[in-house]
Amino acid sequence: MSNGFPRAGFRNTPDTAVVPFYLYAAISFLISTILLMLSTESFMQHYFSPQLLAITHGMALGWGTMIILGASHQLVPVLTEKPLYSIKLAHISFFLAAAGIPLLVVGFYTFNMGWPAKWGGRLILLAVIAYLVNIFKSTKTGKDGNIYSLFIVTAACWLFITAFLGLVLVYNFTYPFLPKEVLTYLPLHAHAGILGWFLLLIIGVGSRLIPMFLISKFQDNRRLRLIYFLINGGLVYYLLSYYFHFPYPVLISGFTIAAALSLFIQFIFRVWQSRIRKKVDRPMRISLLSVAMMLLPLFILLAVSAYRISGGQHSRLVLIYGFLIFFGWITSLILGMTFKTLPFIIWNKCYHDKAGLVKTPDPKALLSDRLFMAMGVSYITGFLVFALGIFCGYTRLLQAGAAALIMAAVFYNLNVFKIWMHKPMV
């Protein structure tokens, strides 16, 4: 220990920069599952349809991105060892995104690429810029920075690229200026978001938080750096191949990403093996399940590429691919991590002044175990049945799967709002 009592101050992120994102995401999840039920017929057709674009953006932005933005305001200081730069910017990014997402989703659903989609896209891009500035300013760079900062900053940059490309595509509907049709550019926009934003951020945050939650001393920064370069390398190769016509873009990028994922899964396995905390709670187990679920869409992608599947079969596999990513991997991760983080945020707010003075309830007591179990069962049922429905092209299965997913979203919302409305018991 150094001399005496060295001072080390810190400032925690207030819950107002986090909780609104969680609540917004919960409602978006419910609306997206209802849209899923109303659009089951679209899953029998080509993947490029107004309803599917609306659901995809509801899930990717309203659900996945909103909760990740909120959680990252809370977690970035833990990862980068620097307080969040601006609470005001966090609020601004919330209000801009909260206004922009419904406009964009309605624009897609009604296929009105005029003012709703354009204003939706503009507001979302501004929200992303506010987030990007906040993250840049909250992160140590250069020699002082750590590997987690690198993941987070790069992910935020990919989010900006995704939002920018998205807005360009929206404008192209009314003022066509791109040399090729929209479908050609859609995979660029989608994969910048899926791999650059979601995958990079989830791996960066997960590689720090999972060892923390399991109390494991396993650390391997070299492996994390390799994962970082494999993901970014694969993604950049894929994007540049559109311009430079590199050979086998999907296959080569797919294998690069597969290598990164297998390294990450090995990393998590080593963390698991060396953990001190043997008892793992349910939210953590669901989060770990999502790590394995990362592989499912990748198998589909490699199958499409390796066997050169085309026509109706190709379109169906693309639908399954998207469903596995947004309703599988990302949703399972959020379902788990919400109940690993939100009860503590609310507990901290309610019992900050009482801890150490009187006996306080366990933060885990803020959530309902029964609702959590009901959510888990309906989610897994809905996910499997709907995926089977897409694969078989059978409407009844799609409807049954969507109904179970609506139930999962209802249970999730009930639990989230129960935690949020918790009143101090002592």
Partner 1 sequence: MNIISNHSINATIALAALEQVMDPEIGLNVVDLGLIYQLDFDKQGHRIYVSMTLTTQFCPMGETLTAAVKRALERTFGDQEIIVELCFDPPWTQERISEQGKLFLNQ
Binding residues for partner 1, rule: CB under 8 A, are 1-2, 4-10, 12-13, 74, 77-78, 81-83, 212-213, 215-217, 276-279, 344-345, 347-348, 351-353, 355-357, 360, 362-363
State the minimum distance, in angstroms, from the CB of residue 70 to partner 1: 13
In the complex, minimum distance from the CB of residue 215 to partner 1, in angstroms, rounded to a whole number: 6
Is the Cβ of residue 344 or residue 394 nearer to partner 1 in the bound state? 344
Tokens linked to 106? 């309605």
Query: Between 74 and 134, whose beta carbon lies closer to partner 1?
Result: 74
C-beta of 149: minimal distance to partner 1 in Å? Answer: 13
* Cβ distance to partner 1 smaller for residue 100 or 363: 363
Q: Is the Cβ–Cβ distance between 47 and 322 less than 8 Å?
A: yes
Q: How many residues does the chain have?
A: 426
Which 3 state secondary structure label does DSSP give 275?
strand
On whether the CB atoms of residues 119 and 103 are closer than 8 A, the answer is: yes
- Whole-number Å distance between alpha carbons of 102 and 97: 9
Q: Is 324 within 8 Å of 387 (Cβ atoms)?
A: yes
CB of 351 to partner 1, least distance (A): 7
Residue 217 vs 308, nearer CB to partner 1? 217
Burial, 394: exposed, middle or buried (Cβ in 10 Å; 0-12, 13-18, 19+)? middle
Helix (H) or strand (E) holding 121: helix 115-137
Taking the least distance from each CB to partner 1, the nearer of 276 and 421 is 276
Task: Using the minimum distance from each CB to partner 1, give the nearer residue, 79 or 407.
Answer: 79
- Contact predicate 207/267, CB 8 Å: yes
Question: How many other C-beta atoms can be found within 10 angstroms of the C-beta atom of residue 423?
Answer: 5
Contact by Cβ (8 Å): 186, 228: no
Rounded to whole angstroms, how far apart are CA atoms 254 and 257? 5
- Taking the complex as a whole, the smallest distance from the CB of residue 135 to partner 1 amounts, in Å, to 15
**Contact of 418 with 365, CB cutoff 8 Å:** no
Q: Would you say 245 or 423 has its CB closer to partner 1?
A: 423
Smallest separation (angstroms) from partner 1 to the CB of 210:
13
Q: Please say which residue, 101 or 342, places its beta carbon nearer to partner 1.
A: 342
CB of 73 to partner 1, least distance (A): 11
User: Which residues are registered as beta bridge partners of 358?
Assistant: 355
Residues in contact with 91: Cβ distance below 8 Å, sequence separation at least 6, in sequence order: 16, 17
Minimal distance, residue 95 CB to partner 1, in Å: 23
